[in-house]
Amino acid sequence: TSVPIILCIYEKPDFSGHMMEFMDDCPCVSDRFHHRHVYSCNVMNGYWIFYEYPNYRGRQYFLRPGEYRRYRDWCATCAVLGSFRRVTEY
């Protein structure tokens, strides 16, 4: 059996504030999470790509499994996150 690919995103730094768990792609973060800002996240497993804008556009950030306490940890210049998707092919 395969392990589900899980990503937790947080509204505030250091894994605080509103949290939501995802196991699938998200074309528009503000539609599902109800926040435009994601200040921290925890990639439980799998690999993800964050995008600056909705519908997988704009600057891209590649995230490996691990804890990202602040958006700068994934090299973003601001906390606005538009969309993200799982990396399914290597």
**CATH number of residue 64's parent domain:** 2.60.20.10
**Does residue 2 lie in a domain region?**
no
**Does residue 11 lie in a domain region?**
yes
* pTM of this structure: 0.92
**Is the pLDDT reported for residue 34 higher than 90?**
no
**Does residue 65 lie in a domain region?**
yes
Q: Average pLDDT in the 7-35 region? A: 95
How far does the chain reach from its first CA to its final CA, in angstroms?
A: 20
- Per the structure, the complete domain to which residue 14 belongs is given by 7-86
Distance CA 78, CA 25 (A): 21
Let me know: does 84 contact 26? Beta carbons within 8 Å: yes
**Does residue 69 lie in a domain region?**
yes
User: Looking at the 3D structure of the chain, how many domains does it have?
Assistant: 1
β-partners of residue 80 are 37
> Would you state the pLDDT for residue 89?
77
**Does residue 33 lie in a domain region?**
yes
**Is the pLDDT reported for residue 7 higher than 90?**
yes
**Does residue 1 lie in a domain region?**
no
